[in-house]
Structure 1
Amino acid sequence: MTEPRVDPDGGSSGDAEVTSAEVLGYPAVRRYLASTALAAIGQNVLVTVLFKQVFDITGDELDIGFIGLAQFVPALLLVLVSGWIADRFDRRRVTGLFLAGRGACAIALVVYSVNGSGPVWQLFAIAFVLGTADAMIAPSRRSIAPLLVAPEVFPRTVALWTATFTGASIVGPVVGGFLYSLGPSWAYLVAAALQFGAILPVLAIAYHHDPGRMTQRPTWSSAVGGLRFVRRTPVVLAVISLDLFAVLFGGAVALIPAVASERLGVGDIAYGWLRAAPGIGAASMAVWLALRPVRRRVGPTLLVVVAVFGAGTVVFGLTRSYALAFVALVVVSAADMISMYIRGSIVPLVTPDDQLGRVNAVEGVFIGASNELGAFESGVAARALGLPWAIAGGGLVTVAIAAGFALVFPSLRRIDTFEELRPPVDPVPPTAP
């Protein structure tokens, strides 16, 4: 099935396939991508430097894990609040407000660094506040994207967003590694400026169609609507659970500072490039997906790329070659990008607009568990098993998880095209008991 050609004003111009260049004709899409680029570069600079600074101060992989845990806990605690706010209030303003919160955290890190290395618990406290801002931003910002274009054009928009986001994951770590060699305060100052700069574009976005915002008073039933929808929709549960378990065990990015120092013996700038390797792989794949998006065998493709993700992680964990470690991270992140693209298309396509914020909040906890909680798991495993097998063992578990999900969730492996995905005919209402 070909997608109808859609112009920026929402009209159709025949049965020709819509290109990525035509999707960029939407002013709202351009503004959304501009805000994403600025915020993501700033966040990558900040996180790259924060993990490295903590490890340089303490020399303990477990402290890297504690930073990840401090960023994850707020997402878990706020899952019901953040999703309800995204569905109740203007998502653009909520995003802008907490981008300012991120900028304030970066300023606090500037103060910490300028004053010299104070108690490390202060970095954990700032990471917790940063995680709180992230928890509030994620469901609101992710719920804006489906409102920018018609549904038939949305997978193209996801491809452009992932290309932008992962391009930022190249630029951010490289810039962060370079600025860290000059001094962490410079890196945090740049990160703060980028976060504040991302606010104006997102506030200027005009929606393509109405988001169907909630108007009722907050209740427990409305707050847990996202959890209920995920539990009762097998495809959504399968997609976000697969990402959770795969990256929770197979994620190795948090341990890159330790790998660069202890196994590869490289300095700050080489560390920055190694930290950028995932972005290079992901951005390259995102560009490919923008030009040639996945159209058929969507479910089986997702399962295969998760297995590739795990296999690449095994290689990264065991090698002592900088070049091979770099290539392994590129492969791992390219596979993860395909997974992100498929998941980022499936979830909004099967979720009603008025529940999207709450569902994205639940997904955000799953993603946070896989990333930030995964960083904590990696730190604990490195302490217990040693650095190589903490990473390689997680990769082997990820391969097994992909095989297990193929058996447990037949509805996932049967997905052929995105066009067959629609919200349930009788979706779970927000106020259902």
Structure 2
Amino acid sequence: MTTQDFAGAHEAQSQSVLQNQNYRHFIASRTCSSLAFQSLTVAMGWMIYELTGSAWMLGWVGFFQFLPMLILTFVVGAVADRYDRRRIGLVCQWVEAATVIVLGLLVWQQSLTPTGILVAVAVLGAAQAFERPTMASLVPGIVGPGMLQRAIATSTSFMQTALIVGPALGGVLYGFWHILPFIFSGVLFLAAGYSVGTIKVLNVAQAARPPVTLRTVFAGVGFIRRTPAVLGMISLDLFAVLLGGATALLPIFASDILQAGPLGLGLLRAAPAVGALGMSIYLGRAPITSGAGRKMFAAVAVFGLATILFALSKSVAVSILALLVVGASDNISVVVRSSLVQLMTPDEMRGRVNAVNSLFIGTSNQLGEFESGMMAGWLGPVAAGVIGGLGTLAVVAIWMTAFPVLRRVERLDGS
């Protein structure tokens, strides 16, 4: 072996070691952040319902979490494509940790009010608005193309596990002592910040950073608008989950209808993630190879039917089963949408497109919680859940007619 060959082999080995280190630190950061946020969400939802006894206030929690994302989306995309994504993630997680520490102190002093919870939710929502698309856009620059698929797949699995463990753990900790979820989340946010701060960007060619203009800021919207299949899919997910999402009402169902307590609430919150994890494992072994569009429409219809079943259930076991189906069917839509976005988005636009995609996801989740809370305030939680499920079925029927291109999507590999 020549000196040049030896140097090349040594450099390749060093690059591989760096990729593996980056990979571990990235997974640790995403998992800690997700665990912290999910645990905290359960605690804040239960606490604000204990303080107010109001379905309306649960709806406002979702609205205040969504509002920063709506306001900041286009700023987030431009920032993520122009500045160091590691530092953006680090600052976000520090802000989240500081917010949770303040919340814990207020809870300990028994001076936390519903208004204080809403303010904290807004701050956390703003931090998440930056963190989620930025971290999603960071992966290719820290692991390289050889590990990209493994990193994305493993990250998804860990995130689903956090969605399962986080809510249940939040309920258990709250049941022992109502301050514990805040301590736990604060420590995890700090750990997430430390992990992302240790990531090193690989020495690979980077695309030129675009100047910040109105055209470049809104480029993600233009890209989605020019791609009918992507527009149809993310808007289908938006309106289906907006109408059919019942997570904001879980404290009411757990407390007043199912008599399940904080632990039961944690189990109910975890159930959709268990279903989603199970479906993601199944799709990993038996990926969608044909009829992707038709299967997506069928999955969203099942999502609506399962939501109706959950709303009518009087049994904890049946409710958990319905939420398992909700999570599994929703995961199919997520897989189809994420696969096409990854396939079609140019590298230099990933931050802006991910920001718009996060807005659609946030709209369906957080604004859906607001819609569900308002509907429950007017009609009661059961009627709100049934109407939401029926609305989801109506959306499926309308979108099948309005976006025929979606019915013709067969494969997720671009062929």
Task: Give yes or no for TM over 0.5.
Answer: yes
Other-structure match for 1:107: 101
Question: Helix, strand or coil: the match of 1:130?
Answer: helix
| 1:405 correspondence with 2:399 | yes
Question: Helix, strand or coil: the match of 2:179?
Answer: helix
Q: Which residue of the other structure, out of 278, 286, 290, is the alignment partner of 1:292?
A: 286
The answer to whether the 8 A contact 1:105-1:129 is kept is: yes
The answer to whether the 8 A contact 1:159-1:286 is kept is: no
| 1:394 correspondence with 2:394 | no
Structure 1 position 377, deviation (Å) = 0.3
Q: Which residue of the other structure, out of 82, 88, 94, is the alignment partner of 1:88?
A: 82
- The range that moved more, 220-229 or 128-137, is 220-229
**In 2, Cα distance between equivalents of 1:153 and 1:408:** 38
Structure 1 position 10, deviation (Å) = 9.9
User: CA 1:326–1:141 in structure 2 vs 1: closer, same or farther (change >3 Å)?
Assistant: same
Other-structure match for 2:183: 189
| 1:355 correspondence with 2:356 | no
Q: Which residue of the other structure, out of 230, 254, 259, is the alignment partner of 1:260?
A: 254
Structure 1 position 352, deviation (Å) = 0.7
- The range that moved more, 124-133 or 27-36, is 27-36
**In 2, Cα distance between equivalents of 1:211 and 1:141:** 19
The answer to whether the 8 A contact 2:88-2:131 is kept is: yes
The answer to whether the 8 A contact 1:378-1:390 is kept is: yes
Q: Which residue of the other structure, out of 296, 304, 324, is the alignment partner of 2:298?
A: 304
Letter in 2 for 1:322: V
Question: Helix, strand or coil: the match of 1:295?
Answer: coil
User: CA 1:147–1:298 in structure 2 vs 1: closer, same or farther (change >3 Å)?
Assistant: farther
Structure 1 position 348, deviation (Å) = 2.0
**In 1, Cα distance between equivalents of 2:364 and 2:166:** 21
**In 2, Cα distance between equivalents of 1:40 and 1:215:** 29
Q: Which residue of the other structure, out of 265, 275, 284, is the alignment partner of 1:271?
A: 265
The total of aligned residue pairs comes to 400
The answer to whether the 8 A contact 1:381-1:390 is kept is: yes
The CA RMSD over aligned residues, in Å, is 2.3
Map 1:225-240 to 2 at 5 A: 225-240=219-234
**Percent of aligned positions that are identical:** 37
**In 1, Cα distance between equivalents of 2:395 and 2:205:** 36
The answer to whether the 8 A contact 1:87-1:213 is kept is: no
Map 1:2-401 to 2 at 5 A: 26-147=20-141, 157-206=151-200, 210=204, 212-401=206-395
> Could you tell me the TM-score, scaled by structure 1's length?
0.87
Q: Structure 2: state its 5+ residue gaps.
A: 1-10, 14-18
The answer to whether the 8 A contact 1:315-1:325 is kept is: yes
Letter in 2 for 1:333: G
> Could you tell me the TM-score, scaled by structure 2's length?
0.90
**In 1, Cα distance between equivalents of 2:335 and 2:248:** 22
The answer to whether the 8 A contact 1:32-1:202 is kept is: yes
The answer to whether the 8 A contact 2:343-2:414 is kept is: no
The answer to whether the 8 A contact 2:166-2:270 is kept is: yes
Other-structure match for 2:3: none
Letter in 2 for 1:202: V
- The range that moved more, 288-297 or 52-61, is 288-297
**In 1, Cα distance between equivalents of 2:334 and 2:146:** 19
Write 1 or 2 for the structure with the bigger share of helix.
Answer: 2
User: CA 1:197–1:151 in structure 2 vs 1: closer, same or farther (change >3 Å)?
Assistant: same
Deviations 1:210-242 (A, max 9, x none): 584553432111111111111111122112111
Question: Helix, strand or coil: the match of 1:296?
Answer: coil
